Amino acid sequence: MKHHNVLSLILAVCFFFNFPAIGFSDNFLVQPALDTQISWDVKPNGLLCVSYDLNHNGKADYFTVHFVVKSYLADELLVNLPQYYGSNPIFYVDYGSARYIYVASEMPLYYAADINEDGLWDLIYVDTMEDGVNGNEKLQRGSTGEPVAAIPNS
Ligand SMILES: [Ca+2]
Ligand SMILES: [Ca+2]
């Protein structure tokens, strides 16, 4: 936690003095291919979070967060699902003969970075247009302008 506070302070100072934040700036955002994910999870707020290891050291450092468009228990074959959902990513949990299906929004709503790979997000960008990384993503900031690494409850 102490580490996190120090990092937040550094990021706030970088923001106020317009320094590049330790290598991370608006252009750190990338759209990793979904098949390069290392794990995924549905959070208590119902959003589906996909983890990536962009620097290939075995620890998650980058995340995309999607809406869950639909979720249900099904026994149909996974190969049949793309015909219903087009390019929406599909995640599932196997329960023997059945599986629980999560259909995610095609593009993420949030992009997050865990710069020091301590399991706590350091920067979050929101892409309200959900149109992929194209420059209209906004860094989440608190009331005093400091970066805020939490997704607001909505
Ligand atoms: Ca990593
Ligand atoms: Ca965008």
Res. 21: pLDDT tops 90: no
Q: How far is the CA of 53 from the centre of ligand 2 (A)?
A: 21
Ligand closest to CA 126: 2
Q: How far is the CA of 75 from the centre of ligand 2 (A)?
A: 35
Q: How far is the CA of 52 from the centre of ligand 1 (A)?
A: 7
Its pTM stands at: 0.78
Q: How far is the CA of 134 from the centre of ligand 2 (A)?
A: 5
Q: How far is the CA of 76 from the centre of ligand 1 (A)?
A: 35
Question: N- to C-terminal Cα distance for the chain?
Answer: 25
pLDDT digit string, tens, across residues 40-77 = 999 999 999 999 999 999 999 999 999 999 999 988 77
- What is the rounded CA–CA span in Å between residue 152 and residue 144? 16
Length of the chain counted residue by residue: 154
What is the predicted pLDDT for the residue at 22? Answer: 41
pLDDT digit string, tens, across residues 4-14 = 555 455 444 44
> If DSSP codes are grouped into helix, strand and coil, which group holds residue 39?
strand
Half-sphere exposure of residue 36: CA atoms within 13 angstroms, side-chain side:
14
Q: How far is the CA of 108 from the centre of ligand 2 (A)?
A: 9
What is the predicted pLDDT for the residue at 61? Answer: 95
Where along the chain do its domains lie? 1-67+107-154, 68-104
Range with the poorest average pLDDT among 20-34, 72-86, 112-126: 20-34
Residues 6+ apart with CB under 8 A from 116: 3, 7, 122
Residue whose token pair is 């607001």 = 152
pLDDT digit string, tens, across residues 94-142 = 998 899 999 999 999 999 999 999 999 999 999 999 999 999 999 999 8
